[in-house]
Amino acid sequence: MSLLKPKLFSLLKTYTKEQFMKDLIAGIIVAIIALPLSIALAIASGVNPERGLHTAIIAGFLISLFGGSRVQIGGPTGAFMVIVYGIVAKFGIDGLIMATIMAGIIMIFMGLLKLGSVIKFIPYPITTGFTSGIALTIFSSQIKDFFGLKLSNVPAEFIPKWKLYLSNLHTINLETTVIGLIALIIIILWPKINDKIPGALIALIVTSLIVKIMGLEVATIGSKFNELSSALPMPKIPAFSMEKISLLIGPAFTIAILGSIESLLSAVVSDGMIGSKHRSNMELVAQGIANIGSGLFGGIPATGAIARTVANIKNGGRTPVAGIVHAITLLLIMVVFMPFAKAVPLASLAAILIVVSYNMSEWREFKELFKSPKSDIAVLLVTFFITVLIDLVKAIEIGIILASLLFMKRMADVTSIDEVMMDASEELDESSFDFEKESNKLKLPKDMLVYEINGPFFFGAADKFLDVIKALSLETNVIVFRMRNVPSMDATAINAFKVLINICKNEKINIKITGLQRQPRIALKKASLYEQIGQANFYDNIDTVLEELNK
């Protein structure tokens, strides 16, 4: 039960005043980092800036309160931007809120079903492929605001979007571009001056002042969104219907899977930094609660944010109290400073997200994967291009299906069913093997065939087994299967055994099995094949079979 106990509840017993001061400072610093990011991600996702802050406050608080990690910081992240933008464009804000709540429910069930450890089995090329694809999509979405292009409706699709950009290069606003470049330079260079105060915040302050003082014709948050609220909205349950649920179940699952992967990846990274161990299933439950809470308050999907979590650790945060402080600090900032946000240039927010897209692009990891087997490269590229050119949901689905098929083929390739001949050796080093001596020692009867199965015996390898069955000659009276190197069997392999038993029964051929391991033995017993073959026909090794036959 401890695995479904929030970390905060476990840590409060030994909590000290000294650690509270460290968590307080870390929480305030992380809140300052989260402020511009939350606003930028909300606008880029197609919603107003307040919703980004509401998400960071509500979801960030709940993730820290109920989470399974000591240091996880939750809130909106770039990974969700693409899917959120698509949901808003197709189903509106109400559809987004429903999908967010549904995703939260799915994540809670995933945690209760203890699927936290299963997420890690999603292949690395898939996560790298769609993360890099999302990064490129985020970058592409910021071109209009960064250069101040005079465009009304920008297509969501990648290729049409870039066609429109290229055909409207003549509408670039030089003042906007300069502001964007100034913001970009500040974000990149500021950490060399001060690594405590985030460069994104300095960039927003400096560029906002430049635009205000010089009276530049640059689009701002205020020019795009008229009024900005300084208060949290009242919680509201959207009007669910079976029709809407059926339409949104796909996006909801995508949010749930994507949020689960990112949050658990963040938790694993933070574990390595502080020498701790997170509770993955509790973390999923907390992420689910946080997304339900975010949706009820009109927010967008949230998950564990790796960059903010790392910043929390580097500034001394070691318990979930730091995440709670981060959420409360954001609430206070929103109440006091929200009116000033109207002066922030959209080009500066675009610069922030361009840096975010670069940081999440994982281009080094992407490049390294080209040294992997061709099947992994194929999964990487297919996932990447489908993410960029078609749809994130389909990218995950097709990526997992392709990876599974290639994995099954790989397993089938390493599973072999080989006939042991009188003049053949099973030794790897044939140069030192005495064929004549070994053949005389085995003394295989002419009416006996011996086959060795090596590797997992599953549906991908069953066709090889069936080929063996077809090759049985009329002269065969005994067939021996050496299964010492078979760790597991599936239903298809068991069915192949049923076919073998029927054929051998009709042809009056005796079946002998040696070296059967635990899982295949249990599988054969459950299928009632163990009894059909007969307990007397199972042996520890082939020597005992030969001794019995040569008596």
What is the per-residue pLDDT across 42-61, written as a single tens digit (0 to 9) for each? 998 889 999 999 999 999 99
- Strands 510-514 and 478-485, bridge-based pairing: parallel
- Dihedral, CA of residue 425, residue 428, residue 433 and residue 439, to nearest 10: -20
Checking if the pLDDT of 551 tops 80, the result is no
Q: How many other CB atoms sit within 10 Å of the CB of residue 69?
A: 31
Q: Which of 477, 420, 419 is closest to 446 using CA atoms?
A: 477
Distance, CA of 173 to CA of 145 (rounded, Å): 10
CA angle 36, 316, 104 (to 5 degrees): 55
pLDDT for the residue 436: 42
Question: Quick one: average pLDDT of 58-81?
Answer: 94
User: Distances from the Cα of 298 to the Cαs of 50, 53, 235, 242, 366, in angstroms?
Assistant: 9, 11, 7, 21, 36
- The domain ranges of the chain are 2-7+18-358, 415-549
Checking if the pLDDT of 463 tops 80, the result is no
Dump pLDDT digits (tens) for 129-182: 878 888 898 899 899 999 999 887 888 788 999 999 999 999 999 999 999 999
Q: Provide the β-strand partners of residue 220.
A: 345
pLDDT for the residue 472: 64
**226: confidence class by pLDDT, cuts 50, 70, 90:** confident
Helix (H) or strand (E) segment spanning residue 35: helix 17-44
Question: Quick one: average pLDDT of 463-478?
Answer: 69
Q: Tell me, which fold does domain 415-549 have in CATH?
A: Transcription Regulator spoIIAA (3.30.750)
Q: Which of 33, 116, 37, 31 is closest to 69 using CA atoms?
A: 116
**268: confidence class by pLDDT, cuts 50, 70, 90:** confident
The amino acid at 152: S
Distance, CA of 396 to CA of 390 (rounded, Å): 11
pLDDT for the residue 422: 35
Question: Quick one: average pLDDT of 173-200?
Answer: 91
151 within 8 A of 164, measured Cβ to Cβ: yes
pLDDT for the residue 408: 67
**Range of lowest pLDDT (164-168, 331-335, 485-489):** 485-489
pLDDT for the residue 428: 37
**Range of lowest pLDDT (212-221, 236-245, 369-378, 459-468):** 459-468
**124: confidence class by pLDDT, cuts 50, 70, 90:** confident
- Strands 416-419 and 448-454, bridge-based pairing: antiparallel
Distance, CA of 6 to CA of 279 (rounded, Å): 8
CA angle 497, 503, 509 (to 5 degrees): 100
Rg (CA), the chain: 31
